[in-house]
Amino acid sequence: MQVFIVLVCIWSLIETPWEVSPGDGMAHIAALLLAKCLLFAIGAAAYFGAPYARSVFAFLCGASLLAVASALPFEYAISHELFTLSLIECLCKVALVVSYTVWYVKNH
């Protein structure tokens, strides 16, 4: 599971340039940076085994997965590049949720 936590966090960094456009205001950029910082903080806590952090991180990835996956057909119609980025994000998060489920079943 730790590998997938790192993978989700790294992919979040990789896709950041595509999430920011020149027309974005400071509020949008601040919200994006805050969201990234929260993701990394919870990811770090989950990586190092803080109580409940893995559950919270898996929940965030699962919720994000539902939001991103539902938009994939629209992204494909608009931009194949954005579709590919979102598809990779979905695959990383699916792998994390599956690994969390396996980890949870083994430990509880």
pLDDT digits (tens, 9 = 90+) for 33-78: 999 999 999 999 999 999 999 999 999 999 999 999 999 999 999 9
Percent of the chain with pLDDT over 70: 100
Question: What span, in angstroms and rounded, lies between the C-alpha atoms of 61 and 92?
Answer: 9
Every domain of the chain and the residues it spans: 2-107
* DSSP summary character for residue 98: H
Query: Is residue 56 a contact partner of residue 42, using CB atoms and an 8 Å limit?
Result: yes
Mean pLDDT, residues 12-32: 91
